[in-house]
Chain A
Amino acid sequence: MTEGQDELEAQFAQWRHYVQRRRELRQTDADELEDHLRGSVDELVSAGLHADEAFLVAVKRMGSLDDLSREFAREHSERLWKQLVLTGDTDGPVADTRSRRDLFAMVVCALGAAASIKVPELFGLEFERDGAFYAPNAALFAFPWLAAFLAWRRKAPRALMGVLLALFALGAVAANAYPLGEESMSVVLTSIHLPIALWFVVGLAYVSDDLRSPRRRMDFIRFTGEWFVYTVLIGLGGGVLIGFTVGTFSAIGISPETFVGQWLVPCGGMAAVVVSGWLVEAKQSVVENIAPVLTRLFTPLFTLVLLAFLVAFGISSGGIDVEREALILFDLLLVVVLALLLYSISARDPLAPPGLFDKLQLALVVSALAIDVLVLLEITGRISEFGTTPNKAAALGENIILLANLTWAAWLLLGLVRRSTPFAALERWQTTYLPVFAVWAWIVVLVFPPVFGYL
């Protein structure tokens, strides 16, 4: 009898397992349905069936889980949508306390970030006036807090915490120790590159539980994409909030500009950096990532535009107008192409055979490379003619780094399409290449100003 009982319990356990995989069915629903099933089994057993027979009949009577889930989904359609962090109900008390502790840590870090940007005011610097101070330092207010949150969440080793701290301190030195004029090129360069350099420090905190793993690096790439999307969304929401704040208070004759300009925008912006990071961490496995979806949408469109550009260039046969802006534009183009490549890699099933999308991607990368080579030929001529500036050197260096990355990526993609290289090689190439970007950003921030005489 007890053997039959054990077997029955095993069957119930298996059944529960199936039910729990349904998003439409919550834990309590599973409990309720299990009670129902047990009632049904008990009745059948008392009618003379064996336990295992009774179980089969009872399950059969309940009907397929598909039908059941569909009926539940009609009443609980909201469950198919989100199940996100802010609602209290998660899977059990352990996950619950964990998410509450995360929430608490996030709030502390977000408040810290919001407070940090107000600290310089104690020393007489004003957010709206002292752009030359705030622009290069912007990333230093929020990123350390985000890194702190991530490192805390991953229980980073003490030595690594020290490294993170040292790197942020180095960033602070780079932003403030050099005598850079307010109008100098170097201030602009530092303002652009220091956030990138520091973002990789955040990345270090992100991968702190397993520094050498390529999978974790890929996760960081995913994290970056999602973080970006969330930050943009929060920014949009913040814009609406500001609009209403200004509008409503102006209507009653109070001007909220000082509050908005000196508190809402800077503090909200810094806090948003941390909140986005927390959101990505919290929802990770819950919702489908949006960055790969955008990638799918835009890869064909970008490929078309690039090919059209090449055709138009061939027909018109005029040169490319390579002013400084143009070079930056083409740098950005390569960044976009790289991002499209990265985010489709991040979402691709490593074992899937090469498909149409991979070929499309190869076309995208190759056309971007072709365009970039044209631009490079043009620009090297210019530089040898007029000499170099920090801006040109930075843009050129970035171009070469991206070109190297994409060239090898194109080669690997070709191998993938021809089934001679595994997909993992492509993934590995991109994750191994990440430090190159970080090192370059640090070079621009640390080495460029002295080399170019603080121009």
Chain B
Amino acid sequence: MKVAKDLVAASATPMVLGILAEADSYGYAILRRINELSGGELDWTEGLLYPLLHRLERLGHVEATWQTVPGERRRKYYRVTESGLAELAEQRRQWDTVVDALKEIWRGPGDARSFTAIPLGGPA
């Protein structure tokens, strides 16, 4: 099972901000961390990650610096900013709402049938 593209894209920002909130990191490590966390189910590409990082940088949610850690290559490290943490909190609140709602639905009895019973579109 792979997670659908739309869902990956929607969860990308909180995912990256969350990982950076743990510790400063760089592109390759972030991607590996995501792989690790999802057991390889989240299909992230470089084309998704780097433009996203640059967008977050432009919006001021992260800061980037080129650094050389001893014994390593020179790398572009990203660090989450105050506004990034605020954004993360906001995203987290929204995701909690979504997840809670979904859990509520799925805990209820006869979940599959209750979907089909609702007429799509409805009288409007």
Contacts and interface: CB of A to CB of B under 8 A. Distances in A.
Interface of A: 28-29, 31-33, 35-36, 38-40, 62-63, 67-68, 70-72, 74-76
Nearest to B58: A75
A71 B31 CA distance: 16
Given A31-B76, A72-B51, A75-B54, A63 B28 contact: no
24 contacts: A29-B50, A31-B74, A31-B76, A32-B50, A33-B46, A33-B50, A35-B75, A36-B27, A36-B28, A36-B31, A39-B29, A62-B45, A67-B45, A68-B46, A71-B47, A71-B50, A72-B50, A72-B51, A72-B54, A75-B52, A75-B54, A75-B55, A76-B51, A76-B54
B76 A63 contact: no
A75 B46 contact: no
B29 to A, nearest CB: 8
B53 to A, nearest CB: 9
A67 B47 contact: yes
Contacts, number: 53
B27 A32 contact: yes
B18 to A, nearest CB: 20
A68 B52 CA distance: 12
A33 B26 CA distance: 11
Contacts of A67: 45, 47
Contact of A40 (B28, B48, B50, B58): B28
Contacts of B113: none
Interface in B17-42: 26-29, 31
B107 interface: no
B73 A35 contact: yes
Nearest to B31: A36
Contact of B73 (A28, A38, A40, A74): A38
- Interface of B, secondary structure class, is helix
- Interface of A, secondary structure class, is helix
Contact of B76 (A28, A38, A40, A68): A28
A35 B76 CA distance: 9
Nearest to A38: B73
Interface of B: 26-29, 31, 45-48, 50-52, 54-55, 58, 66, 73-76
A423 B76 CA distance: 51
A131 B45 CA distance: 68
Nearest to B27: A36
Contacts of A36: 27-28, 31, 46, 50
Contacts of B73: 35, 38
B9 to A, nearest CB: 11
A33 B51 CA distance: 11
Contacts of B29: 39
Contacts of B75: 35
